[in-house]
Amino acid sequence: MEMRNVYILLTDTGSLFTRLIKRFTNSPYNHVSIAFDKSLNTLYSFGRKHPYNPFWGGFVKESIYAGTFKRFKNTKCMLLKFEVSEEEYHSLLNNVEFFVEHENEYSYNLMGVVGAYFNKEVPRKNAYFCSEFVAHVLYQSNLKFWNVPPYMVRPYDFGTDDRFEVIYEGRLHDYATQHRNYIIQ
């Protein structure tokens, strides 16, 4: 059976919001995105819609060459990969594509971030924070890495799980420069 790779990008932009979250989590990375190609042409997550406005958030298609990551050139990152079957890969793609098709119906779950810190769910219709979203699409594809609900999964949980292989750690700008023309399916 042919296996496919899926990529998880953990980042620390150094923004004010990231520094605030870091004070509470003590984690090196506080944002997570999912991608389907090693060049990270398109990443999917929940975060800021505009690089200069941290208060307008929701479902986002991110680029390592534009937007928030372009604004914060010293963004630190850890890139992870994990293998899935062809069926799981397409299930993940379909689950993410649902969010793409309905992106204007979703918002950022800021209260959920606060609740997660206190191990409490703050359910909001059509609202997620980054790690909650990535865990949700994994769970929807029957890829359950943790025995907790998606709102309890923290970005750095991905980085400490041995089922994810670390393939790069360093400045995102350096990775982007090395892989600008590299495309893998």
- Per-residue pLDDT, 183: 42
Beta-sheet pairing, 107-108 with 127-128: parallel
Does some domain include residue 184?
A: no
Mean pLDDT, residues 106-119 taken together: 90
Assign 185 a pLDDT band (cuts: 50, 70, 90).
Answer: very low
Rounded to whole angstroms, the Cα distance separating 21 from 184 reads 33
Say whether pLDDT at 182 is over 60.
no
Residue 82 lies in a domain: yes
Note the pLDDT of residue 181.
Answer: 55
- SS3 for 139? helix
Domain count, the chain: 1
**What is the extent of the structural domain holding 149?**
3-179
pLDDT of the residue at 50: 83
Cα separation of 169 and 10, whole Å? 9
The closest alpha carbon to 97, from 184, 47, 36, belongs to: 36
Q: Is residue 43 part of a domain?
A: yes
- Residue 29 domain flag: yes
Structure tokens at 122: 């703050």
pLDDT bucket at 116, cuts 50 / 70 / 90: confident
Residue 171 lies in a domain: yes
- Please check the confidence at residue 184 and state whether its pLDDT lies above 80: no
Is residue 185 included in any domain, yes or no? no
User: Are residues 7 and 37 in contact, defined by beta-carbon separation less than 8 angstroms?
Assistant: yes
pTM: 0.92
Q: What is the CATH number of the domain that holds 98?
A: 3.90.1720.10
Residues 8-66: tens digit of each pLDDT: 999 999 887 788 788 878 889 999 999 999 989 899 999 988 877 777 899 999 999 88
